[in-house]
Copies of this chain bind each other. A is one copy, B any other.
Amino acid sequence: MKWWGWGDPGRRLDLPATAVAALREELGAEPGDAAEPVALAEISLPEPRPVPEPVRVAAGEVLDGEEDRLRRAAGRSYPDLVRLRSGRLEHAPDAVLRPPNINAVEAVLGSCEAAGVAVVPYGGGTSVVGGLDALRDGHEAVVSLDLGYLRSVDLDARSLTARLGPGLSGPDAEAALAARGATLGHFPQSFEQATIGGFAATRSAGQASSGYGRFDELVTAIELCAPVGRLRTREIPHTAAGPSLRELVLGSEGTIGVITEVSCRVRPAPDVRTYEGWMAEDFEAGREIVRDLAQRHEAPDVLRLSNEEETWVTLELAGTEGLQKRALDAYLSLRHRKGGCLIICGWEGERKSVGRRRSLARSRLRLGGAVTLGASAGSSWDRNRYGGPYLRDELINLGVLVETLETAHTWRRLDELYSAVGAALRGALGEPSIVMCHVSHAYADGASLYFTFLTRARRGEELEQWREAKTAACEAIVAAEGTITHHHAVGRDHAPYMRAEIGELGLEALRAVKERLDPAGIMNPGKLMPRDG
Q: Which of A's residues lie within 8 Å of B, judged by CB?
A: 156, 158-161, 202-205, 214, 216, 220, 226, 228-245, 247-253, 265, 267, 295-296, 350, 353, 356, 408-412, 441, 443-448, 481-490, 494, 498, 501-506, 508-513, 515-517, 528
Q: A251-B243, A508-B516 are in contact. Are A448 and B158 (CB under 8 A)?
A: no
Q: Which 5 A-B pairs have the closest CB atoms?
A: A247-B247, A237-B446, A512-B516, A203-B240, A239-B483
Q: Give the distance to chain B from A219, nearest Cβ to Cβ, in Å.
A: 11
CA distance in complex: A267, B203 (Å): 26
Q: Which of B202, B240, B502 contacts A485 (CB 8 A)?
A: B240
Q: Which residues of B contact A296 (CB under 8 A)?
A: 350, 353
CA distance in complex: A524, B494 (Å): 35
CA distance in complex: A201, B337 (Å): 52
Q: A240-B202, A240-B488, A486-B240 are in contact. Are A502 and B160 (CB under 8 A)?
A: no
Q: Which of B241, B250, B409, B481 contacts A502 (CB 8 A)?
A: B241
Is A234's CB under 8 angstroms from B443's CB? no
Is B445's CB under 8 angstroms from A241's CB? no
**Residue from A235, A244, A411, A445 with most neighbouring chain B CB atoms (10 Å):** A445
Is A265's CB under 8 angstroms from B445's CB? yes
Q: Which residues of B contact A240 (CB under 8 A)?
A: 202-205, 251, 483, 485-490
**Residue from A160, A250, A295 with most neighbouring chain B CB atoms (10 Å):** A160
Q: Which of B233, B248, B356, B446 contacts A248 (CB 8 A)?
A: B248
Is B236's CB under 8 angstroms from A409's CB? yes
Name 14 A/B residue pairs within 8 A (Cβ), A-sorted.
A158-B412, A160-B411, A203-B240, A234-B482, A234-B483, A236-B446, A237-B443, A241-B498, A242-B253, A242-B528, A245-B502, A265-B445, A512-B513, A513-B513
Q: Which residue of B lies closest to A209 (CB)?
A: B238
Q: Which residues of B contact A448 (CB under 8 A)?
A: 237-238
Is B412's CB under 8 angstroms from A490's CB? no
CA distance in complex: A287, B205 (Å): 32
Q: Which of B265, B408, B481, B512 contacts A444 (CB 8 A)?
A: B265
Q: Which residues of B contact A250 (CB under 8 A)?
A: 243-244
Q: Which residues of B contact A485 (CB under 8 A)?
A: 239-241
Q: Which of B204, B237, B494, B515 contacts A447 (CB 8 A)?
A: B237
Q: Which residues of B contact A508 (CB under 8 A)?
A: 228, 516-517
CA distance in complex: A505, B444 (Å): 36
Q: Which residue of B lies closest to A502 (CB)?
A: B245
Is A503's CB under 8 angstroms from B236's CB? no
Q: Give the distance to chain B from A348, nearest Cβ to Cβ, in Å.
A: 12
Is B410's CB under 8 angstroms from A161's CB? yes
Q: Which of B239, B356, B509 contacts A517 (CB 8 A)?
A: B509
Is A249's CB under 8 angstroms from B243's CB? yes
Q: Give the distance to chain B from A126, nearest Cβ to Cβ, in Å.
A: 14
Is B503's CB under 8 angstroms from A231's CB? yes
Is B248's CB under 8 angstroms from A509's CB? yes
Q: Which of B237, B356, B408, B483 contacts A445 (CB 8 A)?
A: B237
Is A444's CB under 8 angstroms from B160's CB? yes
Q: Which residue of B lies closest to A504 (CB)?
A: B229
Q: Which residues of B contact A253 (CB under 8 A)?
A: 242
Q: Which residue of B lies closest to A484 (CB)?
A: B241
Q: A158-B412, A412-B158 are in contact. Are A242 and B505 (CB under 8 A)?
A: no
Is B243's CB under 8 angstroms from A247's CB? yes
**Residue from A160, A243, A253, A498 with most neighbouring chain B CB atoms (10 Å):** A243
Q: A156-B412, A241-B502 are in contact. Are A513 and B517 (CB under 8 A)?
A: no
**Residue from A159, A237, A494, A505 with most neighbouring chain B CB atoms (10 Å):** A237
Is A501's CB under 8 angstroms from B241's CB? yes
Q: Which residues of B contact A353 (CB under 8 A)?
A: 296
Q: Which residues of B contact A488 (CB under 8 A)?
A: 240
Q: Which residues of B contact A244 (CB under 8 A)?
A: 216, 244, 247-248, 250-251
CA distance in complex: A317, B429 (Å): 73
Is A483's CB under 8 angstroms from B236's CB? yes
